[in-house]
Amino acid sequence: MEAILRQFFNAEIMAQAAPLIFRGLGMTLLVCAAVVPLGLAGGLMVALAGRARSRGVRFIVTLLVDIFRAAPPLVLLIFVHAGLPFAGLRLSPFASVCIAFFLNNSAYYGEIYRAGLDSVSAGQREAARSTGLTAWQAMAYVVIPQAVRNVLPDLVSNTVEVVKLTSLASVVALPEMLYSADMARSLTYNSSPIVLAALVYLALLWPVVRLMSRLEHRLGG
Amino acid sequence: MDNGTLFIDTFFKRELIVRYLPDILSGMAVTIEIAALVVAAGISLGLALALIRSLRSRPVNALIVVFVDIARALPPLVLILIAYFGLPNVGILLPSYAVLCLVLSLLLAAFAEEIFWAGILSVRKGQWEAARSTGLTYAQTLFHVILPQAVRLMVPPLTNRTIAITKNTALGTVIGVPEILNQATTAESFSFNATPLMMGAVAYLVLFVPVVIAGRYIETRFAWRRA
């Protein structure tokens, strides 16, 4: 028991590692601030392109979405970060993370928006068009707001996944929270720094997770 | 050398494909093995937890909720590193393969429990009462009346979640599990060429594109027709 406490909940080591980990938290939040809006915007584009009139466009969109949903995010990240330099494209870890997660997240958010757009009945668009709004106005002011509201819980839950995903950036040496915690672990030969990082993730995400699970159960009941 | 051959030489170099194909294939076998184990263990544990939760014992349910919430809020890589580097120091020596299976199974169990439980709750109370009043036992009601109705609601999220978590087998590379990504990055550093990475990516696509397409089919097949 004492060994467990010393190995996982060592207050002294946690206090030593805290400044490093909180600096890492800053980077984690910065990555989120870049990756979440990119994914949300990319996903919306994917969903809109998926409704294009041209069959060719729709086919290509489906193909890309399937590919980027099938490839594990870490594989995409390592491909971008370690593979592209061979083709003469050397990117900073931050840029690699943004590109890899943009591709992955756009596919996931895109599927959610698609379900949202499907849930808005065609009459809404027709009514909007008949009041004189252009096709884009009808989409932007009438259809998309309702679509987003219908899939808001899914968007939130995917955003939690994206925040968790940013921990993968540690693999390409971006000094975010997990990277900092792992560095502290290898210096102190003790797991407490990673446990501290885990506690910070919990503090950030637990309230959202709790809210989601209440929402899910309410919808079910 | 023109750009076309340079591109081929960087990402699709033939002799490297031949040389590293056996490694990538053995990585695929490891990935499939771990994924199969994780799916079987995770889903059965998740179902077991949901059934225990349906007995509605307060302290037990509080424990299940805490476990599920923690699993949903923590990044998988954080848990893998804690287990891999921490457990040996408290006397539990597990090979990296086992650590990966254990962590991913627990994660899938947590998400699956939540999905099963939401499904069970979604069936109206009257169904329970009616079934029990016809003389069915608690277990009979659960298995013959409630779960069959809940399945429609559970299958799509469960497929998505299972796919997402089995894709996390790639995280095993961080702790040295010789799965696809690990084989690919090792080969890449030996050959100093991006071809093995491309092979690894293709291997994942070969494994998971059919699964993603099947998932989409299941989703439309089981979807409730919304009004």
Question: Of B19, B142, B120, whose CA–CA distance to B61 is shortest?
Answer: B120
- Beta carbons of A201 and A164 less than 8 angstroms apart: yes
Range name among A98-107, A208-217, B30-39, B69-78 with the lowest pLDDT average: A208-217
Q: Which residues contact B176 (CB under 8 A, 6 or more apart)?
A: B96, B182
Backbone φ and ψ for A71, nearest 5 degrees, come out as -80, 130
**Between chains, do B197 and A78 touch, taking CB under 8 Å as contact?**
yes
Is the Cβ pair B10, A70 closer than 8 Å?
no
pLDDT in tens, B4-19: 787 888 888 888 888 8
pLDDT of A200 over the 90 cut: yes
- Local confidence band at B226 (pLDDT 50, 70, 90 cut-offs): very low
Is B227's pLDDT higher than 50?
no
pLDDT tens-place string over residues B138-188: 889 989 999 888 888 888 889 888 988 999 999 999 999 999 999 999 999
CB pairs under 8 A between A and B: 152
pTM: 0.89
Say yes or no for a CB contact (<8 Å) between B69 and A66.
no
Q: Which of B120, B9, B179 is nearest to A72 (CA)?
A: B179
The percentage of chain B sitting over the pLDDT mark of 70, rounded to a whole number, equals: 97
Report the complex ipTM: 0.89
A82 to B74: CB separation less than 8 angstroms, yes or no: no
Flag whether pLDDT at A216 surpasses 80. Answer: no
Query: A19 CA to chain B: closest CA distance, Å?
Result: 19
Whether B78 sits inside 8 A of A198 (CB atoms) is: yes
| Number of domains within chain A | 1
Q: What is the mean pLDDT of chain B?
A: 90
Specify whether the CB–CB gap between A74 and B80 falls below 8 A: no
Q: Over range A151-174, report the average pLDDT.
A: 94
Residue A9 reports pLDDT greater than 50: yes
The CATH code of the domain that includes A66 is 1.10.3720.10
Give the residue from chain B lying closest to A221, CA to CA: B122
Q: Distance between CA atoms of A130 and A148, rounded to whole angstroms?
A: 22
**Residue A110: domain span:** 2-220
- Between A32 and B218, residue with greater pLDDT: A32
Instruction: Indicate the range of A60-69, A73-82, B155-164, B171-180 predicted with least confidence.
Output: B155-164
N-terminal to C-terminal alpha carbon distance within chain B: 61
| Cα gap B14→A197, rounded to integer Å | 44
What is the 3-state composition of chain B as percent helix, strand, coil, each rounded to the nearest 5? 85, 0, 15
Q: In percent, how much of chain A has pLDDT > 70? A: 97
pLDDT at residue B89 in the model: 85
Token pair, residue A173, equals 């040496």
pLDDT tens digits, residue range A19-30?
Answer: 999 999 999 999
Residue B223: pLDDT band (50, 70, 90) is low
Task: Tell me what the pLDDT averaged over chain A comes to.
Answer: 92
Partners of B201 on chain A (C-beta within 8 Å) are 71, 75-76, 79
Q: What is the pLDDT of residue A220?
A: 45
What does the pLDDT read at residue B10?
A: 82
More confident of the two residues B187 and A217: B187
Domain at B14-222: CATH architecture:
Orthogonal Bundle (1.10)
Residue B227 distance to chain A (closest CA, Å): 9
| Closest Cβ opposite residue A202 in set B7, B74, B169 | B74
> Does the distance separating the beta carbons of A185 and B76 come in below 8 Å?
no
Out of A83, A208, A216, closest to residue B194 by CB: A83
pLDDT value for B8? 84
| pLDDT on residue A218 | 63
Residue A87 has pLDDT above 60, yes or no: yes
**Residue-wise pLDDT tens digits, B37-55:** 999 999 999 999 999 998 8
